[in-house]
Structure 1
Amino acid sequence: MSGAYAVLHDPQGLLDAELPLDRAPHEALVTAVLAWNDPDLAPSDYEQIALQLTGHARAVAADVQRLAAALPKSDGRGALAEVVLRETESRLAAPLKGTAQCVQHRARLVRSLYTRLDRLTEPAPATT
């Protein structure tokens, strides 16, 4: 049957846990969304962009969680990651709206998660 597809339900994100993130196109989307001044899109277009950013935020959050969990308890980066992850869950729980503001909030969330991910992949700071 051509054109048919199946929707896969994977609430724990187990299927893509080992796949690398496709970062460049999502960063470009975040940059474009945050540069908006007064876009004139249909509410359904805003919702689709917000859904794309939401899905990617969840994938980045899973990577942040995995990296933070692997850190020693004495590494403060793990505690900071937990704060960001709690904030992420709170913000992702908010319902999507067909507005530019909603999309921009999701874009800021993705940017914040990438910042935290980058900090987790840097070498641990030297202790004195």
Structure 2
Amino acid sequence: MSTHTVLYDPEERIEAELPLDRAPHEALITAVLAWTNPALEPRDYAQIALQLTGHARAVSADVQRHAQLLPADNGRRALAEVVLREADRRLSVPLEGTARCVQDRARLVQALYQRLDRLTQPAPASAP
């Protein structure tokens, strides 16, 4: 007997209303990017990379939702679309059980958060 409930949410409204669990992922990113010569097993690297990949997809979806709220000719939207295309490309690369792979995923999540922050902050006032 399954204890899981499957939700049908084609408009992704539930996900859009749930806040990202940012603090633990930022702590993980900080730790991963501080590695100089880690000695983990390949399966441990793979597990961390999976965690970061899942979070990258969630942040990417959040960036996309915020970008779509902006006019098509808005510069912040254009930059977000560039970052999203790069994120899609990088997320399509198969995971490896290596420190380099984990650090690449950490940098990706970091870049997505930077773009999200720029989208959620008020736009700078334009010069007269």
The two structures have a TM-score, normalised by structure 2, of: 0.89
The match for 1:45 is: 44
* Number of the residue aligned with 1:127: 126
Counterpart AA for 2:43:
S
Q: How does 1:1-128 map to 2 (within 5 A)?
A: 14=12, 16-128=15-127
Of all paired residues, the percent bearing the same amino acid is 67
Give distance in 2, aligned partners of 1:95 and 1:8. 27
Q: 1:50 to 1:8 in 2, by over 3 A?
A: farther
- Give the aligned residue type for 1:76: G
Pairwise CA distance, 1:102: 0.1
CA RMSD of aligned residues (A): 2.2
Distance 1:50 1:8 in 2: 26
1:41-74 Cα shifts (integer Å, max 9, x gaps)? 0100000000000000000000000000001233
For 1:74 and 1:124, the matched residues in 2 are separated by: 14
| CA drift at 1:7 | 9.7
Aligned residue for 2:16, secondary structure, equals coil
Normalised to the residue count of structure 1, the TM-score between the two structures is 0.89
Listed as ranges, the gaps of 5+ residues in structure 1 are none
Distance 1:7 1:37, change over 3 A: farther
What is the CA–CA distance in structure 2 between the aligned matches of 1:44 and 1:92, rounded to whole Å?
19
Indicate the SS of the match to 2:87: helix
Judged with a 3 Å threshold, the aligned counterparts in structure 2 of structure 1 residues 37 and 8 are, in CA distance, closer, same or farther, namely farther
Q: Which runs of 5+ in 2 are unaligned?
A: none
Give runs of ≥4 in structure 1 deviating > 6 Å: 7-10
